[in-house]
Amino acid sequence: MQSSCKAADLSVPAQATAFGQWVLEQVGAPDILVNNAGLFNPGNISTEAEGSLDEMIHVNLYSAYHLTRTVLPAMIIKKSGHIFNICSIASLAAYDNGGAYSISKFALYGFSKNLRKELMPQGIKVTHVIPGAAYTDSWSGSGIDPKRIMEAEDIAKMIKAASELSVQACVEEIVMRPQLGDL
Distance from C-alpha of 26 to C-alpha of 61, rounded to nearest angstrom: 24
Distance from C-alpha of 20 to C-alpha of 140, rounded to nearest angstrom: 30
The letter for the amino acid at 51 is G
Residue 128 sits at φ, ψ, to 5 deg, of -90, 115
Q: For helices 63-78 and 99-119, what crossing angle results, to 10°? A: 10
Q: Any bridge partners for residue 85, and if so which?
A: 35, 128
Strands (E), 2-143: 32-35, 82-86, 125-131, 134-135
Residues near 156 by beta carbon (within 8 Å), at least 6 away in sequence: none
**Alpha carbon 35 to its chain's center:** 4
Active site residue ranges: 101
Distance from C-alpha of 129 to C-alpha of 146, rounded to nearest angstrom: 21
